[in-house]
């Protein structure tokens, strides 16, 4: 999402969830960017099919002021993706073995073997697609915290999404119920104090589009709100009950 798109977001946007860390840190892609990502995939596919694979010049990149970018093959998404290098593991001869990369169009982190089979240089057209910004943005469900998190000494306004420690089951439930589904993102506010990769975290709720029964995989709840669904499933609780 570009800065202009982020500033022009309406109160409700149709989205898909591209990656989940936990209910208070996940990534979404708006509907108009779903179509644009298909255009990007086509550009990447044409480049991979037509060009011999060359590896990024790490020495030249290290002496550059810009971050190291590349195309990597994601085994999670089963496709080539734009990535930024986070860190590199090298052998005793200082040759790269594998890399930790951030997939900028999904929000996820992967470890990639540093081999031509999995890594390729990109093109200027691919690198600058969407103003070099990823086609996703960070989000946090509004007004919830992990179940039985009795940290009553913290005031509501001091609660920060990145400080929450969620159970693996809560993360699994949220990831499972958001996978391959469209939602209406109801934007509550944009958190100016929290930034990830220069992007504001959008504080929101997710509303199931059309078919609320998809939530019933885990519970008999008929709630169409993801935050209420997690609360009713006893994996989350509201920070401020008065909001509801």
Looking at the fold, whether 86 and 148 belong to one and the same domain comes out as: no
Q: How far apart are the first and last CA of the chain?
A: 30
- The SS3 call for residue 126 is helix
Q: Is the pLDDT of residue 106 over 50?
A: yes
> The CATH number of the domain where 77 resides is what?
2.30.30.140
Given this model, what pLDDT does residue 222 score?
Answer: 53
Residue-range definition of the domain harbouring residue 140: 3-34+135-243
What is the chain's alpha carbon radius of gyration, rounded to the nearest angstrom?
Answer: 20
Looking at the fold, whether 139 and 25 belong to one and the same domain comes out as: yes
Domain final residue, candidates 95, 120, 145: 120
Digit-coded pLDDT (tens) for 154-205: 444 445 555 678 999 999 999 999 998 899 999 986 555 555 555 689 999 9
Between these two residues, 165 and 10, which has the higher pLDDT value? 165
pTM of the model: 0.84
Q: Would residue 126 count as lying in a domain?
A: no
Q: Quick one: which H or E segment has residue 229?
A: helix 226-232
């Amino acid at each position: 999402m570009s800065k202009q798109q982020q500033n022009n977001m309406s109160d409700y946007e149709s989205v898909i969830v591209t990656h989940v860390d936990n209910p208070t840190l996940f990534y979404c892609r708006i509907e108009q960017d779903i179509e644009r990502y298909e255009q990007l995939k086509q550009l990447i596919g044409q480049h991979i099919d037509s060009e011999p694979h060359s590896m990024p010049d790490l020495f030249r990149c290290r002496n550059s002021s810009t971050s190291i970018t590349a195309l990597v093959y994601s085994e999670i998404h089963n496709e080539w993706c734009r990535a930024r290098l986070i860190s590199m593991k090298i052998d005793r001869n200082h040759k790269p073995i594998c890399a930790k990369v951030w997939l900028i169009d999904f929000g996820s982190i992967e470890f990639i073997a540093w081999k031509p089979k999995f890594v390729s240089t990109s093109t200027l057209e691919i690198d600058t697609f969407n103003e070099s910004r990823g086609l996703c943005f960070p989000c946090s469900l509004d007004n919830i915290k992990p179940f039985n998190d009795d940290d009553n000494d913290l005031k509501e306004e001091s609660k920060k999404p990145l400080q929450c420690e969620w159970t693996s089951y809560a993360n699994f439930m949220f990831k499972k119920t958001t996978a391959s589904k469209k939602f209406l993102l109801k934007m509550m506010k944009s958190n100016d104090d929290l930034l990830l990769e220069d992007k504001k975290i959008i504080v929101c709720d997710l509303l199931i589009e059309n078919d609320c029964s998809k939530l019933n995989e885990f519970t008999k709840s008929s709630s169409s709100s993801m935050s209420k669904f997690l609360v009713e499933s006893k994996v989350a609780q509201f920070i401020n009950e008065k909001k509801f």
